[in-house]
Amino acid sequence: MHASIRSRLNRRRLLPVLLVLVAVVIAGLLIALRPTPPESTPEEKAWPIQTTVIEPASRSPQIRLLGRVETPFRSTLSAAVTADVARLVHLEGQHVKRDDIILELEDDEVSLLVDQRQADLAELESQIAQERNQYDADRQLLDREKSLVALAQRALDREQRLSESNLNSQTRLDQAREALQAAEISLVNRQLAVANHDSRLKSLKAKLDRANALLAQAGLDLGRTRIHAPFDGIITEIDVSPGERVRPGEALVSLYASDDLEVRAQIPMNRIPTIQQALANDRALTATTRLGGVSRQLHLTRLSGQVNTGAGGVDGLFRFTDNAPDAALNRTLDMTLELPAEPGLFSVPVAALYDEHTLYRVQDGRLEALDVQVMGDRFEQDRQFLLVRSDRLRDGDRILATQLPNAISGLKVSVMDGATDHG
């Protein structure tokens, strides 16, 4: 009985083992009998790109510049006399025409000085008239003085003869000599007065000229109590107020010429030789800017004669081609300068350039790297393009126009619809 029980227990233990063995055999048969999948060769990926078709042409490189409005005609008017400010005719920011009165000074003190100078002049004119009358009188009296000397000489001779005959006294002889000497002295004085007439007249005329000059100066000072605009312009500053006392040299008002505006902009140093050559050949270099919503054209008139410390270029001075616009001094302007045209340049988008000198041409569905020389920029319809030159570029070439992080010669690409053409 015990043997029967032990036999049943052994069968129960062998049953799980048999089940595991059967499962393993079935799994092995399934693996062995499974179908073998067909082998496939992986396809090369084609990268989608945008392209542009290019063509050579004579094109003008452009430079974007930042300009500042200024003028060579900017004046600070100062006082020429000591006076009180009477009134302000114009104020800061107002337009004035040439010779318009900007402000007035009290003229009472200067008017008194003018009156004094006129009196000095009248006095000298009177002295000159007196001198001329005196000269006429001296010339007439000179002949009489000579006659008196001759009479005194004859009287002395007569007294000397009488004295030799002991017919008169020594006193009468001395009196005759004294009369002769007095007549001679009077004659010498009269001759001296006549001889010095020219010198005295020149001295008086010199004083008269000085008096005239002082009167003219006083007249100028009187006119300078009215401060006039030296040109058509805009007032930028008023430094005084009514009732304030000013002295010669003190600043009164500042203004600039509104019709003589210039725009100063720094031009990169690498472009200076080209611009200097163009100016030397009298070639017009134009620039454009927008002012008040309107496109305005300027032309480069000259280059600055110095390079400012720390600057990366030379300042160019531009003038508006048409009448100068109404622009505040020191206003900044975005400008685009047109350089001389160069033949055989290709225009490509900025995104087409790799490593500052490489373009990729699409040839038979693959990229081909080309070294190019960048000649400048071009701005059209608010977009920036690069002007390049290369002997390997041809008319009608299709150039990669998008940035690929893995761009390399031989890379397979697929040109997407909507590729742009740009000449």
For residues 337 and 2, the model is more confident at 337
pLDDT band, residue 189 (cuts 50/70/90): confident
Which tokens go with 304? 């600055």
CB atoms within 10 A of CB 178: 12
First to last CA, the chain: 109
Q: Report pLDDT for 418.
A: 54
82 phi, psi to nearest 5 deg = -90, 115
pLDDT exceeds cutoff 80 at 380? yes
CA distance to 122, 140, 194, per residue, from 148 (Å): 38, 13, 18
Which tokens go with 236? 């930028």
Q: What is the Cβ-side half-sphere exposure of residue 221, based on CA atoms within 13 angstroms?
A: 24
pLDDT exceeds cutoff 50 at 375? yes
Beta bridge partners of 298: 287, 320
Q: Report pLDDT for 419.
A: 46
Q: What is the pLDDT of residues 302-317, one digit of tens each?
A: 999 888 777 788 999 9
Find the range with the poorest average confidence among 22-26, 113-117, 124-128, 253-257.
Answer: 22-26
Q: Report pLDDT for 131.
A: 80
What is the residue whose two structure tokens read 């100028």?
220
pLDDT band, residue 386 (cuts 50/70/90): very high
Which tokens go with 53? 């078709």
Distance from C-alpha of 118 to C-alpha of 101, rounded to nearest angstrom: 27
140, with CB counted inside 10 A (0-12, 13-18, 19+), is: exposed
The pLDDT of 114-126, averaged and rounded, is 90
Calculate Rg over the CA atoms of the chain.
55
Distance from C-alpha of 182 to C-alpha of 184, rounded to nearest angstrom: 5
Beta bridge partners of 245: 84
pLDDT band, residue 154 (cuts 50/70/90): confident
Alpha helix positions (H), 335-377: none
26, with CB counted inside 10 A (0-12, 13-18, 19+), is: exposed
Which is nearest to 84 in space by CA: 255, 218, 254, 250? 250
Which is nearest to 233 in space by CA: 80, 93, 103, 331? 93
Sheet with 233-238, side-by-side order of all strands: 74-78, 251-257, 233-238, 95-96
pLDDT exceeds cutoff 60 at 389? yes
Q: Report pLDDT for 165.
A: 66
pLDDT exceeds cutoff 60 at 249? yes
The pLDDT of 181-206, averaged and rounded, is 80
Q: What is the pLDDT of residues 337-367, one digit of tens each?
A: 999 999 999 999 999 999 889 999 999 889 9
pLDDT band, residue 246 (cuts 50/70/90): very high
pLDDT exceeds cutoff 90 at 251? yes
Find the range with the poorest average confidence among 26-40, 128-142, 212-226, 358-372.
Answer: 26-40
CB atoms within 10 A of CB 216: 11
Q: For helices 170-195 and 197-223, what crossing angle results, to 10°? A: 40
Which residues neighbour 119 within 8 Å (Cβ) at sequence distance 6 or greater?
none
Q: Report pLDDT for 258.
A: 83
Q: What is the pLDDT of residues 86-116, one digit of tens each?
A: 999 999 989 999 999 999 999 998 899 999 9
Q: Report pLDDT for 421.
A: 45
Distance from C-alpha of 86 to C-alpha of 105, rounded to nearest angstrom: 5
Q: What is the pLDDT of residues 397-418, one digit of tens each?
A: 999 998 888 889 999 888 885 5
pLDDT exceeds cutoff 80 at 300? yes
Q: Report pLDDT for 136.
A: 80
The DSSP line for 182-251 is HHHHHHHHHHHHHHTHHHHHHHHHHHHHHHHHHHHHHHHHHHTTEEE-SSSEEEEEE---TT-EE-TT-E
The pLDDT of 323-341, averaged and rounded, is 87
What is the residue whose two structure tokens read 């945008």?
50
* 51-53 and 420-421 beta bridge pairing: parallel
